[in-house]
Structure 1
């Protein structure tokens, strides 16, 4: 329901790292029920557990790219768990089933904000790692398996999560400093710029390759294709480009779902007392819903773009029943 309300910037929860000041503002606000947060969190957790389970179960998915997708799935699980936990605590406090002091409430809020920070950074780093993986696949196809190994991918994932956890804790410890928010915003745009550069380069190369083939006479085109097949098998090349397209879709969804949250942070720094800015920031819970929707959409993209992933999902969901294993 939509109604004019006087509220703090974060809505139900008045404290927190991302919420801004406690200044009250009058504006139209969408009231999101706790049940919505909880339902989204549960669906996201189940979907992303299914992704991790599928990759662990199917040996054909034991490749660096799918390991990085697992890392992204874990990041999605973390942000969903964080928002679900905070929703449950708020509901218990409002119903007076949980009676605790302000220090405990602040601790829970800090833990949840820290998990959101860690999830955000892990998501961006995982997306960047996947972009680098696709870049190496396309530009260094013959050396790919010697450059990007499973062991190196696992080491990269471990490093990503270690750094993200340390940064998440440090950010919350120094949450009173505006430098923390500046660092988050800067990291977001730097990561996006790096990924955009890699993908633009990849798709420009693919376009140039197709234009060169199209410009050749028919007889030469056949010879050129044969030579290309000797260098990089056509099915593998198509698979590499399909993977790049999939990750581009993931990146686009990530930007769409997280951009309102980052605009919230930018306004928090630029104009925290300006009425239009206050009104935008009062919809913080809506931006959290978008973030949770991102966690739900990602596994759907994996399933839609990967036949192997779809088959494994079906096997798991059907509990290995022979009647359910018909071709998709």
Structure 2
């Protein structure tokens, strides 16, 4: 997908997809692949020259997105307070974001290897690889749309059927919905590979995008126009929980932000597909399509931004993120401490953000290490007897010379 035009390279159209790059591949305007040196064509103005984006940009965004979305999935799995249908749908969205970033990053690596002759394969195999990557993009966008729609429906039920929500939207039902979403998306990806040379595939994908926007707009209109009056009606009912209602509205607002970012980041890509079909030879259309790599960067940015929205909007997610990151940092610190105690007898060392003094004494054939850790900020960790929110200033490491050392609270 990254290569959306013809190339002077002998393997013409390297990873130039027959669907995404159709308009470029079949016209006189020569648009260079993104990872090759730009070659200005005299048939189009300089303003339409394709923007060169370094390989490192795709790789960095792909790695950041991968790590962020793994953190989101880990947080949802780890924290039982997040074991709800909405967050399971968020988990599905995170997987879709991960898929699109990883596929773009891998495609960039392969294009780079091909263009530098570090990887030599047959032309037909290159086409098949390109179809697979573009199929992953197709699966990702459909999964993102379906996951956003599922979250919207979940918020709608939460607001308008608050008293029956747990009967309507059960965890099992949410799991079935997610399974159906990914089965449907996989089917779309297979169809895309089989019929990648046909225009109806693009029309179908664009139609799904606008259909999703129409349904979401209808849900939002109903949700926000009637939410206030609905809250007033059920406020007088026994068992009403105003905190729960405010949380539901906050979830709906979070979804609105997610949807807005999704539209901003994906709209240029879908406009690109529309122009490929409607005006493939128009100079202005070609000029817009020549910046295809910028639209891919926007798509990857969407995958990077989504986890930040979760962290900014959800206190529970923020708390879990901190716990995971701090736990990982502390584990690394303790590993470094254990290594250092084998080499030094006494003296201050710096491990991460902590000023640690290690005192080693020998007795009964064992090393006993007392490690003083000066707390920085309000570090919170639940670690073998340490409770959340309790300030602490030292840990103790005990262990045999042969069996290693064990950290205790």
TM-score (norm 2): 0.72
- Name the count of aligned residue pairs: 308
- Any residues of structure 2 matched to 1:53-132 within 5 Å, and which? 53-132=74-153
Spell out, residue by residue over 1:185-211, the C-alpha distance to the aligned partner (whole angstroms, 9 max, x if none): 11000111111111111110124458x
Q: Which has the higher contact order (CA 8 A, sep 6+)?
A: 1
Name the CA distance, whole Å, in 1 between partners of 2:246 and 2:199.
46
- Any residues of structure 2 matched to 1:278-289 within 5 Å, and which? 278-289=286-297
Deviation beyond 4 Å, 4+ runs, structure 1 = 9-13, 320-323
1:227 to 220, 236, 240: 236
Indicate whether 1:8 and 2:5 are aligned: yes
Q: Aligned residue for 1:17?
A: 19
- Any residues of structure 2 matched to 1:1-328 within 5 Å, and which? 8=5, 13-21=15-23, 22=25, 23=27, 24-25=29-30, 26=44, 27-208=48-229, 227=236, 230-319=238-327, 321=330, 324-325=379-380
Name the CA distance, whole Å, in 2 between partners of 1:170 and 1:137.
35
Q: Bigger CA drift: 98-107 or 245-254?
A: 98-107
Offset of residue 30 of structure 1:
1.4
Spell out, residue by residue over 1:141-183, the C-alpha distance to the aligned partner (whole angstroms, 9 max, x if none): 1110011000000111011001110111102210111111111
Name the CA distance, whole Å, in 2 between partners of 1:116 and 1:15.
12
Unpaired segments ≥5 residues, structure 2: 8-12, 31-43, 331-374, 381-387, 390-409
Offset of residue 9 of structure 1:
7.7
Spell out, residue by residue over 1:95-130, the C-alpha distance to the aligned partner (whole angstroms, 9 max, x if none): 211111111211110110000000000000000000
Spell out, residue by residue over 1:301-321, the C-alpha distance to the aligned partner (whole angstroms, 9 max, x if none): 000000000010011111164
Name the CA distance, whole Å, in 2 between partners of 1:19 and 1:205.
45
Asked whether the equivalents of residues 20 and 268 of structure 1 are also in contact (C-alpha less than 8 Å), the reply is yes
Q: Bigger CA drift: 168-177 or 178-187?
A: 168-177
Query: Which has more radius of gyration?
Result: 2
Spell out, residue by residue over 1:46-81, the C-alpha distance to the aligned partner (whole angstroms, 9 max, x if none): 000100000000000000000000000000000011
TM-score (norm 1): 0.89
Report SS of the residue matched to 1:17: coil
Spell out, residue by residue over 1:233-290, the C-alpha distance to the aligned partner (whole angstroms, 9 max, x if none): 1000000000000001000000000000000011011100111101111111110000
Report SS of the residue matched to 2:49: strand
Q: Aligned residue for 1:220?
A: none
Q: Bigger CA drift: 53-62 or 101-110?
A: 101-110
Report SS of the residue matched to 1:29: coil
Name the CA distance, whole Å, in 1 between partners of 2:253 and 2:147.
16
Unpaired segments ≥5 residues, structure 1: 1-6, 214-223
Name the CA distance, whole Å, in 2 between partners of 1:241 and 1:190.
24
